[in-house]
Each structure stands twice: as C-alpha cells, then as structure tokens.
Structure 1
Amino acid sequence: MDNNMSKEDMVREAVEEAKAKAAEQEEQQTEDMTENTDGDAKDTVAAAEETAEETAEATAESEESDVSEETDSEEKPEKKSKLFGKKNKKDKKDEKIEELNDRLTRQMAEFDNFRKRTEKEKTQMYEVGAKDIIEKILPVVDNFERGLDAVAEEEKGHPFMEGMEKIYKQLMTTLEGLEVKPIEAVGQEFNPDFHNAVMHVEDESLGENVVAEELLKGYMYRDSVVRHSMVKVAN
C-alpha cells in the first residue's frame, strides 16, 4: 500500500475491493444455485418421467386385465348360457330322433297288436272251418257205428266186416289226431253245456239228474263242443 495515499483513498479502495469480492461471491453463489437447481430439475423431470412410464405401464396392464376380465365375463355367461341351453332346450336333431323313435315304438306296438289279433282271427277261422268239416264227417261216423252194431255175431268174423271195422278204427284214430274226442255221457251228471236232454225216465237205480242213455254221441273239437250229446236223463 502506498504510504502517500490518503486515508480517503485507502477507504475508497477497500470499499471497491469489498464490492468486487461481494459481487464475485454473489455470482459464484448464483452459478452454484443455478447448477443445483438444474440438477434438481433434471432429477425431478427424470423421476416424473419414470413415474409417468410406470403409471402408463400400470394403466396398460390394468386395462389389459380389465379387458381380459370383461372378455372372460362375457365368455363365461355365454358358455353358461350355452351349457344351460343344452340342458333346457334340446337340439333339433335330438328332438327329431326322439320323435322318430317314439313313432317307431308306437308303430311296433300297433303292429304287434295287429299280429296278435290276426293270429287270433286266423285261429278262430281255422277252428270254425275245422268244426264245419267235422260236423259233416260225424254223420259218416254215426252210420259206421250203426252198421257195425247191426251186424250179427256170426258175421263179425267175415273178411268184409273186418275190413269195415279197420276203416272205422282208422277214421276214429284220424279224428283223435285232430283233437276230436267223444263226450262222456252215460252215467255222468247232466250238463247242459255238453248234453242235450230229449227224454226223461224214472229209474230208481240211478241218481237224480243222471244221464241214463245216450241216443246220439256228442263230440268236442279241442275245448269247444262240435255236437251236443242227445241223451235220456233219469229222474
């Protein structure tokens, strides 16, 4: 410091130096603050950007999850409705199959009833025809029996009579094979289902309402009467 400087100059120089140092310090502090502010701003922006990215990702995942749940919720009711629909409402093909099966079952039942009815009618017609033929043959049997009964004892050994007896036996065997059999009458209790009473007699040796004599032999074909026995009933 110049010793020749006045005190005023010394003060003025000191003030200027102090002002220069203060300005320098202020400028340095301003730069430091600016750098710190820029760094904080950059960090804040980076953090904000990172947060925004995370938020966007989370939002995207949430939207995808919501879409997936909505899709599942839409598909599940549809599947359930389809599942319940199958239970509650039958397919047209299944309904058609059931209808055809039901129709076939009814037709088979009707055909079975028709078959049974036809067989019964055929059996009845056969029995009616057989009974008609048997009724026409019975008079021939009656004549055979009358003829054989009229033969004298000494003539029964004659070859002609033996031939007639053989024919008669063959005829009766044939009728028996056709399930034709004579009705028992003499000594049996009178039964209007099998017997036709044409006479009454008093006979103490017989019980009441008993067939005493058979005037014309009756015959049955299987379980039906072809011809009633004409009988004489006692008491």
Structure 2
Amino acid sequence: MSTQENHNVEEEMAKQEETVTENAEQQAAAEAAEEQQEVADPVMQELKAAKATIEEQKDKYLRLSAEFDNYRKRTLKEKAELIKNGGEKAISAILPILDDLERALQNMQKADDVKAMYEGIDLIYQKFLKGLSQEGLQKMEPVGEAFDTDYHEAVALVPAPSEDQKGKVLDCVQTGYKLNDKVIRHAKVVVAQ
C-alpha cells in the first residue's frame, strides 16, 4: 500500500468517525429535545390549569362584587324609603282620633252641657293614649318613685314633708314618655330633699 492509499484510508476513517460523532450528537440532541418536550407538557398543562382557575376566580370575584354593590344600593334605597314613610303607621293610627276631635269641636258650639263635653273629650283622650300605647308609647308615672336622672328631670327641690320621702318625686310638672323602653321625653318633676 502506498502512502497515498494510506492517507486516503485514514481520511475515510476520519470521515466515518466524524459521521458517527455527528450522528451521536444528533441523537443526543433529539433525546434531549424529546425529554424537554415531556417535561414541558406537564408544566404547560399545569400552567393552563392555573390560568383557567385564575379566570374562574376572577369571574366569581366580579360577580360577587356586582352582587354586593346591588345589595348595598338596594338597602340604601329601602332605608331611605323607611325614613321617608316611617311615620305612616303611627299617623294612620292617629287619624281616627283626629276625626273624633273634629266632631267634638263641631258639637262644642251646639252643646250646653259642659259635663257631657268633658266626658266626650276624656273618651277621645283615652282612645288617643290607647292608640299610642299600641305603637309602643308608655306614659311615666313618677310620683312617689325615687328620683332617677335616667327618667326624670328635676325642676324644683322642696323640703321633704317626712324623712321617708327624701329623694323621692313629690309632683310631676310635665309627663315623661318612653317609646319601646327608650326615654323620648324625661318627666319634669319636683323632688323632696
């Protein structure tokens, strides 16, 4: 074999080695790409699932926010309506008493019997108190009770007629009222000291 042939054989062997190396590198790159694809698929699936969950939660949040806003507007409207027409029930209860007073005034011009007029007005007064008590109004009866600043307002202090009456209410100058157990007007009273 000549040197030329040796050289050609060596070149050919080098080419074959180079081809084998290239094939091995290509195969390794293909395997790496395939492995990366396998790893990327679950990650992509998880990413898609996470995006879907985010969109679902965002939709729920927007719906809940809109629902709460509607609730807030509705309750404000109902509250304004209650404030505007809150006295309707009480006024409706008083209207028949107003009618009775009108009739009493008309009959006072014709009547000569003062006692009968007094009895009629007293009946209207009792009807009026009954109607107000049905609405939750309570009249305070402070005479004889111990003076209590939560319910009474002292307008005068007088010497106590006896020792056991000290600190007690002797007289009521102006009646006090409670509405559903809340004082709406304190009773103005005379207190023994």
Structure-2 residue corresponding to 1:208: 166
1:206–1:212: 8 Å Cα contact kept in structure 2?
no
**Residue 185 (structure 1) shift:** 0.9
Distance in 2, Cα, partners of 1:191 & 1:123: 34
User: Could you list the per-position Cα deviations for residues 144-184 of structure 1 after superposition, in whole angstroms to 9, with x for gaps in the alignment?
Assistant: xxxxxxxxxxx99x544443332222111111111111123
Q: Which residue of 2 is the match for residue 14 of structure 1? A: none
Any idea what SS the aligned residue of 1:90 has? helix
For residues 188 and 125 of structure 1, the distance between their equivalents in structure 2, rounded to whole angstroms, comes to: 39
Aligned in 2, Cα 1:108/1:228: closer, same or farther, shift over 3 Å?
same
Cα distance in 2 for residues equivalent to 1:215 and 1:188: 14
Match among 171, 183, 188 for residue 225 of structure 1: 183
Is the counterpart of residue 100 in structure 1 residue 53 in structure 2?
Answer: no
TM-score normalised by length of structure 2? 0.55
Please tell me the residue identity of whatever aligns with 2:64. T
Partners in 1 of 2:141 and 2:118 — Cα distance? 27
1:82-231 aligned within 5 A: 82-86=44-48, 89-91=50-52, 94-112=53-71, 159-203=116-160, 204-231=162-189
> Aligned partners of 2:84, 2:47: CA distance in 1, in Å?
57
C-alpha separation between the residues in 1 aligned to 2:182 and 2:127? 23
How far apart are the structure 1 equivalents of 2:140 and 2:73? 36
Q: Please give the secondary structure, in 1, of the residue aligned with 2:164.
A: coil
Count of aligned pairs between the two proteins: 145
Larger radius of gyration: 1
**What is the root-mean-square deviation in Å for CA atoms of aligned residues?**
4.0
User: What TM-score, normalized by structure 1, do the two folds share?
Assistant: 0.47
Higher relative contact order (CA 8 A, sep 6+): 2
SS of 1:185's partner is coil
Amino acid at match of 1:82: M
2:121 alignment partner AA? M
